Chain A
Amino acid sequence: MSLDIRWLVPAAIYAAAPQCFAAKYMSVDQARALIFPMADEYVAKPVQLTPEQMQEIDKLSGVPGRTARQQVWQALSKGKMIGWFFIDQVIGKHELITYALGINADGGVRQFQIIEYLEAYGSQVRYLNWRDQFVGKTVESTLRVDSDIANISGATLSAHHVTDGIRRLLFLHQSVLR
């Protein structure tokens, strides 16, 4: 029996300079500008789902909802509606992933962006080539990992949960916002 441990920083210094794996990649405004560069106005249209709507969306998407309240904005360009902007959270492995999703007026995915990622592993879900697979997907798409969305080795749970979250938002959009 022996103990071989190296404390990286003494506790007192830690309190002054906390360091962690939480990564905030962008602000909500930056995500908006990336997803809808031509939008000049956003109108908040928060959605409060009734229990029946919750159930219906759970059933259609196959993903149980986390909350009945969903943050949604309408994106406008020169007064014309060009799409919907969502802020949503899914669990990665243990921690919440915050992401932004843009859906075009025709109901297809425009793009999504990871806003905040709190875990040490699995942040590959923000790589562009993985995110680009979602562009144009609709409620008609399968939208499942290992089917039309590639899995990511080392980020399996994050990849599944982000895919599930987006599928659920597409059905929410179809049920409530169209």
Chain B
Amino acid sequence: MRPAMGTLVHASGSGPDATKVRQAVDAALATVERIERLMSFHDPESELSRLNREAWRTPQTVHPWTWAVLHRALRFAEASDGLFDITVAPLLVREGLLPGLADASLQCGNWRNIVLMPDCAVFLARPMLLDLGGIAKGYAVDRAIHELRRGGCAEGVVNAGGDLRRFGSIAQPIQLRRRDGLVRVAELRCGAIATSAPYAVHAERLAQPLGCIFDPRTHRAWNGSGAVMVAAPSCVISDALTKVAALAGPDCAPLLARFGARGFWDTDPAYVEGR
């Protein structure tokens, strides 16, 4: 277990060869850290920060992984008609959830202004801020799972603060945290699951506010009536589509199905009472 991406990342595996398993787990965690260095909004040295500074002036060449995440982000943006949008960062900066100057002139961009070019080059058609907070964690979990498989693990789990993916033959219980405790909602044998909640269930116990989901249509924070979970074949899908599922509600089930994903909309009375 290691701290990364603003959470604790946990990777574990099992297989016939203990040494190989240990190496695979180390490689998995190293991959997560590498992706964080590439795609962190908080780190001014990251590739993402370089994109935000420079890519509207001249096209920037990025690591194939960063390009792959942007490519997927645009696919989800197009499929959801902009409900998933990695250009809402100025809203999060304004709320103090991301670092940066809360500059009134800083407007939200639009995913259509992101231009992906051959050979991993990225161009922004206008100055704007990209934030991969809604998708990079899922991608990192997928890459880490890949390392576990490649390292010879027969069973493997990677959990980055609730973005979870596993493979193997054991069914793992999936629990949802509610105000009054944990609820077992599913058993996952193979695949990924991600959760979004309208606000921290125990906000008073957290040292700093958690990130939240902003609606690109209204520029307001999502304020739903319960938690949302999305299960999918890969974690990049569940991570990104949980935001869409949160904003669109159960109506988006056909959209989820297009990506092989399934949603679970919790209607916990405690959320309603707690408000």
Q: Please judge, given known A-B contacts A11-B264, A15-B269, whether A3 and B171 are in contact too, CB under 8 Å.
A: no
Instruction: Tell whether B137 is near chain A: CB-to-CB under 8 Å.
Output: no
Query: In the complex the two chains form, is A18's CB within 8 Å of B178's CB?
Result: yes
Which of chain B's residues have a CB closer than 8 A to the CB of A52?
Answer: none
How many residues of chain A get a CB closer than 8 Å to chain B's CBs?
22
Mask, A136-172, CB within 8 Å of B = 1, is 0000000000000000000000000000000000000
Residues of B226-250 at the interface with A, using a CB-CB cut-off of 8 Å, are: 231-234
Query: In the complex the two chains form, is A8's CB within 8 Å of B186's CB?
Result: yes
Instruction: Tell whether B265 is near chain A: CB-to-CB under 8 Å.
Output: yes
Query: In the complex the two chains form, is B183's CB within 8 Å of A19's CB?
Result: yes
User: In the bound complex, how far is the Cα of B269 from the Cα of A55, in angstroms?
Assistant: 40
Which of B261, B264, B267 contacts A15 (CB under 8 A)? B267
Query: In the complex the two chains form, is B268's CB within 8 Å of A15's CB?
Result: yes
CB nearest neighbor in A for B267:
A15
Q: Count chain B CB atoms within 10 A of each CB in A1, A5, A9 and give the residue with the most.
A: A5
Instruction: Give chain A nearest CB distance to B241 CB in angstroms.
Output: 12
Query: In the complex the two chains form, is B233's CB within 8 Å of A6's CB?
Result: no
CB nearest neighbor in A for B175:
A120
Q: Please judge, given known A-B contacts A11-B264, A14-B266, A18-B269, whether A3 and B180 are in contact too, CB under 8 Å.
A: no
User: In the bound complex, how far is the Cα of B191 from the Cα of A11, in angstroms?
Assistant: 20
User: In the bound complex, how far is the Cα of B184 from the Cα of A9, in angstroms?
Assistant: 9
Query: In the complex the two chains form, is B180's CB within 8 Å of A5's CB?
Result: no
Instruction: Tell whether A31 is near chain B: CB-to-CB under 8 Å.
Output: no
Query: In the complex the two chains form, is B171's CB within 8 Å of A6's CB?
Result: yes
Instruction: Tell whether B188 is near chain A: CB-to-CB under 8 Å.
Output: yes
Residues of A69-113 at the interface with B, using a CB-CB cut-off of 8 Å, are: 95
Which of chain B's residues have a CB closer than 8 A to the CB of A5?
Answer: 174, 186-189, 191, 193, 231, 262
Task: Tell me whether chain B's interface is mostly helix, strand or loop, or mixed.
Answer: strand
User: In the bound complex, how far is the Cα of B184 from the Cα of A8, in angstroms?
Assistant: 8
Which of A1, A2, A14, A118 contacts B181 (CB under 8 A)? A118
User: In the bound complex, how far is the Cα of B188 from the Cα of A7, in angstroms?
Assistant: 8
User: Contact size class for B?
Assistant: 20 to 34
Query: In the complex the two chains form, is B182's CB within 8 Å of A120's CB?
Result: yes
Instruction: Tell whether A43 is near chain B: CB-to-CB under 8 Å.
Output: no
Task: Tell me whether chain A's interface is mostly helix, strand or loop, or mixed.
Answer: loop
Instruction: Tell whether A58 is near chain B: CB-to-CB under 8 Å.
Output: no
Instruction: Give chain B nearest CB distance to A133 CB in angstroms.
Output: 28
Q: Please judge, given known A-B contacts A7-B264, A95-B181, whether A2 and B269 are in contact too, CB under 8 Å.
A: no
Q: Please judge, given known A-B contacts A11-B266, A14-B266, A18-B180, whether A2 and B191 are in contact too, CB under 8 Å.
A: yes
Instruction: Give chain A nearest CB distance to B40 CB in angstroms.
Output: 26
Instruction: Tell whether A4 is near chain B: CB-to-CB under 8 Å.
Output: yes
User: In the bound complex, how far is the Cα of B266 from the Cα of A6, in angstroms?
Assistant: 16
Query: In the complex the two chains form, is A4's CB within 8 Å of B183's CB?
Result: no
16 sample A-B contacts, Cβ–Cβ < 8 Å, listed by A number: A4-B188, A4-B190, A5-B174, A5-B189, A6-B171, A7-B186, A7-B262, A11-B266, A11-B267, A14-B267, A18-B269, A19-B184, A21-B181, A22-B180, A22-B181, A119-B182
Given contacts A5-B231, A6-B189, A22-B182, 10 further A-B contacts (CB under 8 A): A4-B190, A8-B187, A11-B265, A18-B270, A19-B183, A21-B182, A22-B181, A118-B180, A118-B182, A120-B175
Interface positions of B (Cβ within 8 A of A): 171, 174-175, 178, 180-193, 231-234, 260-262, 264-270
Q: Which 10 A-B pairs have the closest CB atoms?
A: A22-B181, A20-B181, A3-B191, A1-B233, A4-B189, A4-B190, A15-B267, A3-B233, A5-B231, A6-B187
